[in-house]
Structure 1
Amino acid sequence: MSERGKGTSHTERVFRVQQAFIELGGGAQRLSAIAQAADLDDSTVSRILTSGTYKKTFVRAGRGLYQLGTGAGDLGLYALSDDNLSGDESREVLQSLRLQTDGGLVFLYLKAPFGGAGRQCYDMAVGDSDLIELGMTPRDVLFVSRSLRTGASGRTILAYMSESIQKRVAHGPTPDEAGPGVFKDGDEFLASLADIREQGYALGRQECMANWNSIAAPVIWDDTIHGAVLLLKPAHVMPEAPQHYINATVKAAAQLSQLGGGWPTHE
């Protein structure tokens, strides 16, 4: 330990405590572990946690155990609101990607603000397509694709999260409804995450659903992963991902990253 948080503002100490839960992999954590991860003394962390329970930022999960509450999720939703990412701006980027990929189905997934390591569909550009006629149900979009254990967008988001969360998800169950291309082996799954970080995108072959292939790229704000842009095309139309489709998807993700103050566009 260094200075155990001396000289820092109260706001910074609160942020440290919130960040500690992320570094520890989420879930219920002991006060001592939170204090160590936040580089603060136990008494300071105890006061922050106690105060935060009244605002539901933290929840007392048991004797000496705390976890993030729905209030922390509300902060995440605010950070992803139109104040930071205009719905019109993001939709324009998604629509442009759809045109550049000859009518592909385009989705913007963001990390779920609560409920563990998951994702949720924030916006989409599907034109006049009837998702049900295309073999996709609302359950596919909202539930099967919520897991980070399957799908190009799930793996892309997970690739930029902490190693502890990656391992927990990798060795967890896959959704029963996942497609035939889902990674069954946990170690192979983890290796794919390293590949995503190296190349800056993911390719999915019938992972979430049968007969659909995909390309995904990360949306990163302030050096933190917030989501992924996903392009879906029928497997018989896109058996292999053309390079110009990959480039267009990566560019769209970079544009959304810039809107949120993230890293620069890939060249």
Structure 2
Amino acid sequence: MTISTAREDSVPVQRQGSAQPAKSGSLAARAYVVQQALAQLPGDVHALRDIARLAKLPEATTHRILQDGVDKHIFEQVGRGMYRLGTGTARAGVQAMNRLPGATGTHTYLVRLHQATGGLALLYVLSAFGGAKRLCTDYEIGGMDPAEVGMTAEDVVSVSRSLRTGASGRAILAYLPQDARDQVLAEEVPPTAGPGVIRDNQQLTDSLLVIRERGYAIGRQECMAGWDSVAAPVFWRSQVMGSVLLLKPTSTMPEDLRPLIHHTLRAAKDISDLTATPVSAVL
């Protein structure tokens, strides 16, 4: 396969599945389908009829499941016949993620990426609190002083958090549901973003399609002037959880990016594989 060094880039398309009718006739099996339907519908609040249609269940059955879930905080009723996922669902997700391998396991792969490329290796994770953002949770920069990267405190909480700026942000954004992507596209570009940031929403959307086709993203001075990057998404099974970023000064970025892409993809895959490993096997 020929790897392009064009600005936009990703692995085979990871498609969001649609809710499937429960094979079992049990109410419990149908409840899982209703929960999946709520997670897959665009937007926040959904009508009973839309949930039932996607779940391929009778409205009466769907209503009974939703009402049972409201009592357990799995669902919330926010109006007549209108529902959304509740805090119980979020709590279950947090508990599940808490059982994934932590920084001790991931840091090894960032060190290897740094040593193989000479670049800064960073791990970003997706944060849904207050809208889809990314947060840097681990990095390996060798003996470099973080101040040498040139980012101010304001940049850390603006440019480096936005999913619409930088290869690491777009590598996550490409695999989010459409409603989450629409929310990010509605955000303003951080004023201190680099000169290469993609400001046009259609161009940004087109870049996400290329990322999903190739499995990686390339950034040209998107977050900061004078710094280019390669990023690859990190998955928990089929769900994007973050991205690995390789950052290098523009002056040292080689014309042939294939070795950098290879090492970045490898680090992202190794970290993704960790999420499929039982915690007991990692400790």
**Structure 1-normalised TM-score?**
0.81
Amino acid at match of 1:185: D
What's the counterpart of residue 22 of structure 1? 39
Q: 2:113 aligns with which of 97, 100, 109?
A: 97
- The CA deviation at 1:115 is 3.4
> Percent same amino acid among aligned pairs?
44
Amino acid at match of 2:195: P
Q: 2:104 aligns with which of 73, 88, 112?
A: 88
What's the counterpart of residue 77 of structure 1? 94
What's the counterpart of residue 265 of structure 1? none
Distance 2:70 2:192 in 1: 37
Distance 1:243 1:66, change over 3 A: same
Unaligned stretches of 5+ in structure 1? 263-267
Work out the number of aligned pairs and report it. 259
Amino acid at match of 1:149: R
Q: Residue 161 in 1 paired to residue 170 in 2?
A: no
- The CA deviation at 1:194 is 1.5
Aligned 8 A contact 1:31 1:64 in 2: yes
Distance 1:145 1:126 in 2: 16
Distance 1:7 1:167 in 2: 35
- The CA deviation at 1:77 is 2.8
What's the counterpart of residue 238 of structure 2? 223
Based on CA coordinates, which of the two structures has the bigger radius of gyration? 2
- The CA deviation at 1:226 is 2.1
Distance 1:18 1:239, change over 3 A: farther
**Structure 2-normalised TM-score?**
0.77
- Which stretch shows the higher mean deviation, 114-123 or 90-99? 114-123
SS at match of 1:236: helix
Amino acid at match of 2:24: G
Aligned 8 A contact 2:22 2:29 in 1: no
Distance 2:94 2:20 in 1: 33
Distance 1:164 1:113, change over 3 A: closer
Aligned 1:117-266 pairs, distance under 5 A: 117-170=132-185, 172-238=187-253, 242-261=257-276
- The CA deviation at 1:72 is 3.0
SS at match of 2:149: coil
Unaligned stretches of 5+ in structure 2? 1-18, 278-283
Considering only aligned residues, what root-mean-square deviation do their CA atoms show, in Å? 3.0
Distance 1:241 1:143, change over 3 A: farther
- The CA deviation at 1:171 is 5.2
Amino acid at match of 1:183: I
Deviation readout 1:33-75 (Å, 9 max, x if unpaired) = 2222233333343344444445544334444333334443333
* Structure with larger RCO (C-alpha < 8 A, sep 6+): 2
SS at match of 1:136: coil
Distance 1:65 1:229, change over 3 A: same
Aligned 8 A contact 2:158 2:190 in 1: no
